[in-house]
Structure 1
Amino acid sequence: MSAARRETHPLAEEAAQWVVELEEPTPRVLREFAAWLEASPRHVEEFLLASAVWKELDGLDAARRIDVQRLVEEARSNVRPLVPEAMREISDESSGPSRARRRVLGIVAAAAALVAGIAIWLVMATAPDVYATSRGEQRAFRLADGSVVHLNTQSRVEVEFTRMERSIRLLEGEALFNVEHDPARPFRVIAGPTVIEAIGTRFNVYRTDAGTTVSVVEGIVEISPTIPPALSARAAPPPRSDAQPQVRPVSVVAERVAAGEQARVSLEGEIVKEAVPDLARVVAWRERRLVFRGDPLEDVVREFNRYNELQIRLEGDALRARRLTGVFDADDPMSLLQFLTRDGTLIVDETGGDEIVIRER
Structure 2
Amino acid sequence: MTVQGNDTAETRGERARAWVVRLASGDMTAAELDELSHWSAADPRNRAAFLHERQCWQDLASLESAFAADPEVGVVPGARSAKWGRGSVLFSAAAAVAIVWLAGPAAYVWLNADAISAPGEIRHVALRDGSQAVLDSDSAISIDYGRGGRKIRLLKGRAWFTVRHGDTRPFRVDTAGGTVRDIGTAFEVDDTEAYSRVGVTEGAVALESNRPLVLHAGQRARFGAGGQAVLLNGLPVDRIGTWRRGELLLRQVSLETAIRAVARYRRAPVFILANLADSKPISASFRTDRPDEALDTLAAMRGLELARLPGGVLLLRRATR
TM class, shorter-length: 0.5 to 0.7
Tell whether the 8 Å contact from 1:210 to 1:267 is kept in structure 2 after alignment.
Answer: no
List per-residue Cα deviations over 1:53-96 (Å, max 9, x = no partner): xxxxxxxxxxxxxxxxxxxxxxxxxxxxxxxxxxxxxxxxxxxx
1:175 to 159, 162, 187: 159
2:133 corresponds in structure 1 to 149
How far apart in 2 are the matches of 1:167 and 1:149? Answer: 13
Q: CA deviation digits over 1:211-266, x for unaligned, max 9?
A: 210111111111113xxxxxxxxxxxxxxxxxxxxxxxxx2x42111111111012
Partner of 2:207: 223
After the TM superposition, which residues 218-257 of structure 1 pair with which residues of structure 2 at under 5 Å, given as runs?
Answer: 218-225=202-209, 251=210, 253-257=211-215
CA contact under 8 A between 1:310 and 1:333: conserved in structure 2? no
Corresponding position: 1:333 with 2:291: yes
**Matches of 2:302 and 2:215, distance apart in 1:** 43
Label 1:281 to 1:315 Cα distance change in 2 as closer, same or farther (>3 A): farther
Q: Deviations over 1:2-43 (max 9, x none)?
A: xxxxxxxxxxxxxxxxxxxxxxxxx9xx78xx89xxxxxxxx
Q: Which runs of 5+ in 2 are unaligned?
A: 1-58, 68-86, 90-110
Tell me what 1:201 maps to.
Answer: 185
| Aligned equivalent of 2:117, options 133, 136, 159 | 133
Q: Residue 356 of structure 1 is aligned with which of 314, 318, 321?
A: 314
RMSD: 3.1
Offset of 1:341 from its aligned partner?
4.9
Shift of 1:174: 0.8
Residue identity matched to 2:292: M
TM-score (normalised: structure 1): 0.54
Q: TM-score, normalised on structure 2? A: 0.60
Q: Residues 146-201 of structure 1: CA distance to partner in whole angstroms, max 9, x if unpaired?
A: 11111111111111111231111111111100011246211111112411110221
CA displacement, residues 107-145 of structure 1 (integer Å, 9 cap, x when unaligned): xxxxxxx9x9xxxxxxxxxx9871111211221122221
1:268–1:209 CA distance, 2 compared to 1 (3 A): farther
2:229 maps to which residue? 271
- CA distance in 2 between counterparts of 1:343 and 1:184 reads 51
**Structure richer in helix, relative to its length:** 1
Question: 2:273 maps to which residue?
Answer: 315
Kindly indicate whether residue 157 of structure 2 is the aligned counterpart of residue 159 of structure 1. Answer: no
Larger Rg: 1
- In structure 2, which of residues 243, 246, 255 is the aligned counterpart of residue 297 of structure 1? 255
Per-residue CA deviation, residues 244-303 of structure 1 (Å, 9 max, x unaligned), is xxxxxxx2x421111111110123323111342233332111112111222211121112
Aligned length: 219
Distance in 2 (CA, whole Å) between partners of 1:309 and 1:298 is 18
1:282 and 2:266 are equivalent in the alignment = no
Identity of aligned residues (%): 29
**Equivalent position amino acid for 1:288 in 2:** G
Within a 5 Å distance, the mapping from 1:52-71 to structure 2 comes to none
1:345 to 290, 303, 310: 303
Once residues 195 and 261 of structure 1 are traced to their aligned partners in structure 2, the CA distance between those partners, rounded to angstroms, is: 17
The one-letter amino acid paired with 2:214 is R
Q: Secondary structure at the match of 1:268?
A: coil
